[in-house]
């Protein structure tokens, strides 16, 4: 177990039980729920619903990261997310994450009350974002991506090469290791369902990096390919299956759209993890 150190003096325990991060896309074009929560009032209703269902963290994003999504300006991203983060930060029971790779957006989000910076480019798109996390003491999710670069043929070797470079950026900026969580980036330039399945099968290898791990499989295309569900909204059961599997492989956090179904699946996985831990302790006595 470890304490994840976050901005504004907050912490959260990782490892003993699953931590669910609810996805709140305040965008018109996200791949599975685009436009549903673009209005601030609807975003807040959805956030409260996810918290009631068991989400400990709400991850607010203002730009779709889908491979075919058109980029938005930094100002538009900030216009979408800052009012929502300000409103959420008034709720003492919830931790707020900002899904951005932009330095200035991260700075404004933390100022508005965000506790965590979730960077899908692993600090390598705008390295100045690392300074924002360092100065604020914010929790930091460093995600692996294979986009816009040549990848190593071995999926896990590519994970280590990319994430170690990101960790170098973080440490040079003065970020404490206790602020860092790693995300292997399911679906981000993992070209085929087999690539994502291999990442799941070999997930335990990532523990060698020494940081808590986040699993972000929610409604991804590879789940649709496995289950035959073309509609992203019909992939929640498949997502819950991957969440449970990855929990048994040591993931600590789970970034999901449908909180309720994943909370239930993870409760079962947590029971197995707890039983294993108790059995191990008993055998050591």
What count of other Cβ atoms lies within 10 Å of the Cβ of residue 119?
27
Least confident of 70-74, 104-108, 255-259: 70-74
Highest-scoring range by mean pLDDT, 31-35, 40-44, 228-232: 228-232
- pLDDT of 67 reads 66
Q: Which of 93, 77, 57, 36 is nearest to 216 (CA)?
A: 57
Residues 207-221, mean pLDDT to the nearest whole number: 97
Span 42-58, pLDDT tens digits = 889 999 999 999 999 99
CATH code for position 114 = 3.20.20.20
State the average pLDDT for the chain. Answer: 92
Residue 35 has pLDDT above 90, yes or no: no
* pLDDT score for 285: 56
pLDDT digits (tens, 9 = 90+) for 149-178: 888 889 999 999 999 999 999 999 999 999
Catalytic residue among 80, 220, 221, 247: 220
Q: State pTM to two decimals.
A: 0.93
Q: With bands split at pLDDT 50, 70 and 90, how would you rate the model's confidence at 34?
A: low
For the question of residue 220 being annotated catalytic, the response is yes
Give the domain range for residue 88. Answer: 2-284
pLDDT at 20: 98
Query: What pLDDT shows up at residue 242?
Result: 98
* Domain count along the chain: 1
Q: What is the pLDDT of residues 88-100, one digit of tens each?
A: 988 878 999 999 9
Strand ranges (DSSP E) for the chain? 2-5, 11-14, 19-25, 57-61, 95-99, 116-119, 139-143, 180-183, 214-215, 253-256
Residue 138: C-alpha distances to residues 20, 27, 90, 96, 134 (Å): 18, 24, 17, 11, 7
Residue in 80, 102, 247, 255 annotated catalytic? 255
Annotated catalytic, 178? Answer: no
Calculate mean pLDDT across residues 118-135.
Answer: 97
């Amino acid at each position: 177990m470890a304490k994840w150190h976050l901005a504004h003096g907050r912490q959260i325990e990782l490892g003993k039980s699953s931590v669910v991060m609810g996805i709140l896309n305040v965008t018109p074009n996200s791949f599975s729920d685009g436009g549903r929560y673009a209005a601030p009032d609807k975003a807040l209703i959805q956030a409260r619903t996810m918290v009631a269902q068991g989400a400990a963290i709400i991850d607010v994003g203002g730009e779709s990261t889908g491979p075919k999504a058109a980029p938005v300006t930094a100002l538009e991203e900030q216009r979408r997310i800052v009012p929502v983060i300000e409103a959420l930060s008034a709720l003492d029971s919830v931790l707020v994450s900002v899904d951005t790779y932009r330095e200035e957006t991260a700075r404004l989000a933390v100022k508005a009350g965000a506790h965590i910076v979730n960077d899908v480019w692993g600090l390598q798109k705008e390295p100045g974002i690392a300074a924002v996390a360092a100065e604020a003491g914010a929790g930091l999710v460093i995600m692996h991506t294979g986009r816009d670069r040549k990848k190593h043929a071995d999926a896990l070797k590519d994970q280590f090469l990319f994430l170690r470079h990101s960790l170098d950026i973080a440490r040079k900026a003065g970020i404490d290791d206790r602020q860092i969580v790693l995300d292997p980036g399911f679906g981000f330039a993992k070209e085929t369902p087999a690539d994502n399945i291999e990442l799941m099968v070999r997930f335990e290898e990532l523990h060698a990096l020494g940081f808590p791990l986040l699993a972000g499989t929610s409604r991804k295309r590879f789940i649709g390919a496995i289950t035959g569900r073309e509609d992203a909204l019909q992939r929640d059961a498949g997502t819950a299956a991957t969440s449970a599997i990855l929990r048994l492989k040591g993931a600590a956090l789970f970034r999901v759209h449908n909180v309720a179904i994943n909370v239930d699946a993870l409760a079962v996985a947590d029971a197995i993890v707890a039983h294993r831990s108790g059995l191990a302790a008993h055998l050591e006595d």
